[in-house]
Amino acid sequence: MTAQPRVLLVEDEAELAAMLAGLLAEEGYVVDVAPDGHTGLHYGLSRRYDVAVLDRGLPAVEGLDLLARLRRTGITTPVLVLSALGNPADRVEGLDAGAEDYLAKPFDIDELLARIRALHRRHLDTARTLPVPGGALDLDTREVHTAAGPVSLSQREADLLTALAARPKQVFSRDDLLARCFPEAENPVVVDTYVHYLRRKLGRPVVDTIRGRGYRLGGP
């Protein structure tokens, strides 16, 4: 059974947010609504989404600042900026900040839904592989395609590498990786063991050790 696509909606106009959340739910999306930029940033950093829809004039953290912070942490979720600021310079600013699409208010509902569907399709096309040092991880086959040929990973090795590669600039503690990738285990030493397995198969640079903090994906 295919999981329902997830949308992050960051919008401070309560009536508009409720209307959009209802429409998206009718279209089959699971929607998380954040009423301000701070909440949106928290959701964006702690949960995985297929599409994000961001207003610009948000309380706490402005929309483009929120977008820039997400991009700096390596989050590649496709973003549509939905804003009353709709002149060409505003659209250019939003796209340059990292948005994939920009729609001015007031907007046509059918057009908005079509643009979200397009972004979701783009996400599905790109989400099947993740770049890793020396190659790309195929999430369907659990193979890393390298210049020397494909390298097969076990399910747990692939889970660990996926967690790191999905947020390549984030440092994960051993406890965090234990909870994400080895929920049935209790000893964080299992994380160290699987880091060793990945390095043995793909080379030591695939995972960086950040002393006193944990691990992150290795640099290019």
Task: Identify the CATH number of the domain defined by range 129-217.
Answer: 1.10.10.10
Closest CA to 112 of 18, 24, 4: 24
What band does 1 get if pLDDT is binned at 50, 70 and 90? very low
Q: Has residue 196 got a pLDDT over 80?
A: yes
Res 136: pLDDT: 87
Q: Which of 37-51, 91-105, 127-141 has the lowest mean pLDDT?
A: 127-141
Rounded average pLDDT over 192-219: 95
pLDDT digits (tens, 9 = 90+) for 122-164: 776 666 778 899 888 988 889 999 988 999 999 999 999 988 9
pLDDT score of 140: 80
Average pLDDT over residues 24-35: 94
Annotated domain spans of the chain: 6-127, 129-217
Percentage with pLDDT > 70 across the chain: 96
pLDDT > 90 in the chain, percent: 65
In this predicted structure, the answer to whether residue 74 has a pLDDT above a threshold of 90 is no
* pLDDT computed for residue 5 by the predictor: 86
Mean pLDDT in the chain?
90
CATH classification (class only), 6-127: alpha beta
